[in-house]
Amino acid sequence: MMKTFIVPTRDEVSPANQAIFDNVKQKLGKVPNSYAFMASSENGLATYLAFSNAKSSLNIKEKEVINLIVSEINGCHYCVCAHTMIGKLNGFTDEQILEIRRGSLSFDAKLDALAQLTKEVTNNKGKAGQEVIDNFFAAGYTNESLVDALLIISERTFSNYLNAVVNVPIDFPVAPEI
């Protein structure tokens, strides 16, 4: 029988995590269940948020392309739902989000090069073919972009894995299956 994990409430986490909950709730209007479970660790939520909110050479749309593709490949419906909502808030249409999740973007060549890199790295446990890498750089990305993309892939992979192990209840609008 699989263990049932309970998402802790504000009162069930440490005072330091309670302060983070208050800050997150002020910014987002709620504390997402995934974040709340990370607060089961004294340092987990703070470490994750520092990593997730770190400066990047990639813009929000580029980050969401990575987040959606990695989450789709890793089968994390929680993150797909969350990042579908975030993608919409940042200007992607429903149709574009579905294209992104499929890993092939017809509407933006530069974002497609990022999508191809993300898809290949995620599917191949960190490896990417030379053609995909060459196309990434030909699209205008740099070494800095490559490092930042890999950081975002790793951050999203952690979140996907946590949600898979814990089966965090989805608290975002449910994204359509593809």
The pLDDT assigned to 2 comes to: 72
Asked if residue 5 belongs to a domain, the reply is: no
Residues 42 and 80 in one domain: no
For the chain, what is the domain count? 2
Residues 150 and 65 in one domain: yes
The pLDDT assigned to 20 comes to: 98
Please enumerate in sequence order all residues whose Cβ is within 8 A of that of 114, keeping only pairs 6 or more positions apart, or say none.
58, 62, 65, 66, 136, 139, 141, 149
Asked if residue 176 belongs to a domain, the reply is: no
Residues 97 and 138 in one domain: yes
Among 72, 67, 164, residue whose Cα is nearest residue 111:
67
Range of the domain at 148: 60-165
Mean pLDDT by 10 residues, the chain (178 residues): 89 98 97 98 98 97 98 98 98 98 97 98 97 98 98 98 95 96
The pLDDT assigned to 3 comes to: 83
